[in-house]
A and B are shown apart, each in its own frame.
Chain A
Amino acid sequence: MTKENKGRVIVFILSLFVYLGLTSFTDLQEIITGVIVAIIVSLLVGKFLLSTESKGNAFKRFFYGIAYFFKFLWEMAKANLHVAYLVIHPQVPIKPGIVKIKTNLKDDTALTVLANSITLTPGTLTVDINPAEQELYIHWIDVISTDKEECSREIAGRFEKLLMEVFE
């Protein structure tokens, strides 16, 4: 199966599922309409979904994806408690700054997921990204050090290993 057909099948299943969820799973009329709409949508936009060939063991990647998701939820809960502490404290003890970090990920999707995860975890916010040199500019609410290596280890090290397993 080529990657365009694969993308079409995935788009078909997803859009049919969403359509039936928004209306009803049992009504025959809705199911027929949903199938027609999903076929049209998948023929139109299916070829844009996948940009790279799949590689590696799909089952292992799925397992690491789940592990990544739970790690991400845990880090996010910690982030919220940290922000709540900063906001309640009468003197707002912050020490902000924008630092530059380096990452080893090459894939576009992996970089996007890493940037989004950094945005949603403690004290960090992705400001800009430089895909050519694999650098990210991070706004950090509590700067510990300004050294590039140390920042990279401190901010991206939490997710990088799991993302490597998922995407590469």
Chain B
Amino acid sequence: MIDLIGKIFIILGIGFDFFGVLGLVRLPDVYNRLQAATKCVTFGSAGILFGVFLMHGFTNLGFKVLLGIAFIFLTSPVAAHAISRAAHRSDISLTEKTVVDHYQDDKELKEE
């Protein structure tokens, strides 16, 4: 029974991974791609790891997999934040559909 639940978690995780990667290809600029990719791929990989943990229980492998979930959840938002800030500071433009950009306005104010 617990094996089946683990397999369902793994399949859901793969599905979310796939949507995240599709977003990486289809969305129009760096920031949108970063949004889709970070959210979906983090959640999807964590789902895969949790499914493997359910299939194996508290063995050596299960403990390593839990540690992996902690790593992914702690590191991926920080990396996304660093990349988006660096992209904005090195003047990579937003897409044409963009409605508003308060960050740019504040940066111009500071420079003046």
Does A pair with B?
A: yes
Size of the A side of the interface (Cβ < 8 Å), in residues, is 37
Size of the B side of the interface (Cβ < 8 Å), in residues, is 42
Contacts of B27 on A, CB cut-off 8 Å? 86-87, 92, 94
Stretch at the interface among A31-39, A55-63, A75-83: A75-83
Contacts of B67 on A, CB cut-off 8 Å? 18, 21-22
In whole angstroms, what is the CA distance A88 to B85 when docked? 28
Contacts of A10 on B, CB cut-off 8 Å? none
Mask: chain A, 108-126; 1 = CB below 8 Å from B; 0 = not: 0000000110011001111
- Contact at B39–A99, with CB atoms within 8 Å? no
In whole angstroms, what is the CA distance A23 to B61 when docked? 10
In whole angstroms, what is the CA distance A115 to B26 when docked? 26
A96 in complex: contacting residue of B32, B60, B104, CB < 8 Å:
B32
A98 in complex: contacting residue of B39, B78, B97, B102, CB < 8 Å:
B102
B9 located at the interface, meaning its Cβ lies under 8 Å from any Cβ of chain A in the complex: no
In whole angstroms, what is the CA distance A103 to B34 when docked? 24
Mask: chain B, 1-40; 1 = CB below 8 Å from A; 0 = not: 0000000000000001001101100111101101110111
Mask: chain B, 37-74; 1 = CB below 8 Å from A; 0 = not: 01110111000000000000000100110010000000
**How many contacting A-B pairs (Cβ < 8 A)?**
128
Contacts of A84 on B, CB cut-off 8 Å? 16, 19, 40
Give the Cβ gap from A1 to chain B, nearest Cβ, in Å: 26
A97 in complex: contacting residue of B23, B35, B101, CB < 8 Å:
B101
Residues of A within 8 A of B (CB): 18, 21-24, 76-77, 79-80, 83-84, 86-88, 92, 94-100, 115-116, 119-120, 123-128, 137, 139, 141, 143, 146
Apart from A21-B64, A83-B39: 14 A-B pairs, beta carbons within 8 A:
A79-B43, A80-B19, A83-B20, A83-B40, A86-B27, A86-B36, A116-B81, A120-B77, A124-B35, A126-B81, A126-B84, A127-B81, A128-B88, A143-B99
Residues of B within 8 A of A (CB): 16, 19-20, 22-23, 26-29, 31-32, 34-36, 38-40, 42-44, 60, 63-64, 67, 77-78, 80-81, 84-85, 88, 94-95, 97-104, 106
